[in-house]
Structures are given as structure tokens and as C-alpha cells.
Amino acid sequence: QKELAAFLEKEQTQAKLHSTVHTFTTMCWDKCVTSTPSTRFSRGEESCLMNCVDRFLDSSIFLVNQISQRRDQQ
């Protein structure tokens, strides 16, 4: 039973990860793939997609820090 609980927890974490990847994919697709799809990504599109993920995470971290700063100031 314990094995099942551990397994389910692992699978749930993975499912959450997949869900996040889906959100990022659609968000970054909308930002980066603006022209009609061709036979492969241009270098600009490809780097845009990669940057998109990192920058979003950077933004999240930055915003959280900002929020805690404002909270400390009060």
C-alpha cells in the first residue's frame, strides 16, 4: 500500500509538470510563432521558445521577490 502511495505521489508530481509544460507551450507558441508554420523552425523562433520558458520563470521569481519586499516595507 505504501508503495502505491509513493507511486501515486510521484505520478501526480509528474502530471503537474506536464500540465505546466502544456501551459508554457501554448503561451510561448503564441508569443514566438507568429508566421505561418513552415517545414522547420527558424533559428529566431527556436531561441525565442527556449528564452520564453527561462524568462517566464525569471519573471515569476522576480515578482515574488518584489512582493515580499513590499510586504517587508510595510
Partner 1 sequence: MSDFFKSAVSSPTDANARKEAIMTQVRNELAQANAQQLINNMNERCFKACVTKPGTSLSSSEQTCLARCLDRFMDAFNIVSRTYTARITKERLEDTNLGSSLGQ
Q: Which is nearer to partner 1, 27 or 67 (CB)?
A: 27
How many of the other CB atoms lie within 10 Å of CB of 36?
Answer: 5
How many of the other CB atoms lie within 10 Å of CB of 28?
Answer: 19
Site string for partner 1, 12-51 (x = CB under 8 A): --xx-xxxxxx-xxx-xxx-xx--xxxxxx----x--xx-
HEC per residue, 23-68: HHHHHHHHHHCCCCCCCCCCHHHHHHHHHHHHHHHHHHHHHHHHHH
- Please state the closest distance from residue 73 (CB atom) to partner 1, in A: 25
Site residues (vs partner 1, CB under 8 A): 3-4, 7-8, 11, 14-15, 17-22, 24-26, 28-30, 32-33, 36-41, 46, 49-50, 52-54, 57
